[in-house]
Amino acid sequence: MNIDYPFHFTQGRSSTIDDNAHIGEMLEQLLFTNPGERVNRPDLGSGLQQLVFGPNSPELAAALQFTLQAAIQKWLGDLIDLQGLSVTSEDSKLHIFISYIVRRTNEQQVAQFSQAV
């Protein structure tokens, strides 16, 4: 059993989720956490949130793609096998598409995220 994020209660107990949903939530936390934000893990995070005030461009998306790939491999590489990662820029948004296989169950999963910059 995994505790659901963000933490909340269901029927008087801590809300829980299955393993696949938990991995999806860990991906989301990794993407939207800034390095230095976690006390005991200062290098956890992707730096995506720091791009809010920067210009959006295809070059930024390409650089971010390599940064995200390294962060996912480092922090979640023991749980997932990254199959595909694409970052595209569209107007003032970055779209992140992640395809992976859960190592424990060999199930294919897909996650999509968007961030305005």
Q: Is the pLDDT of residue 25 over 80?
A: yes
Q: Give the Cα separation of 94 and 90 in Å (integer).
A: 6
Percent of the chain with pLDDT over 90: 21
Q: Is the pLDDT of residue 26 over 80?
A: yes
Q: Quickly name the fold that domain 2-116 has.
A: Nuclear Transport Factor 2; Chain: A, (3.10.450)
Written as one letter, the residue type at 114 is: S
Q: Is the pLDDT of residue 13 over 70?
A: yes
What pLDDT, in 10s, does the model give residues 41-96?
A: 888 888 777 766 667 777 777 888 888 899 999 999 999 999 999 988 877 778 88
- Tokens 């948004």, residue? 93
**pLDDT at residue number 54:** 66
Distances (CA, A) of 115 to 66, 68, 79, 104: 17, 14, 24, 29
Structure pTM? Answer: 0.77
**What are the boundaries of each domain within the chain?**
2-116
Residue pair 109/23 in contact by the 8 Å Cβ criterion: yes
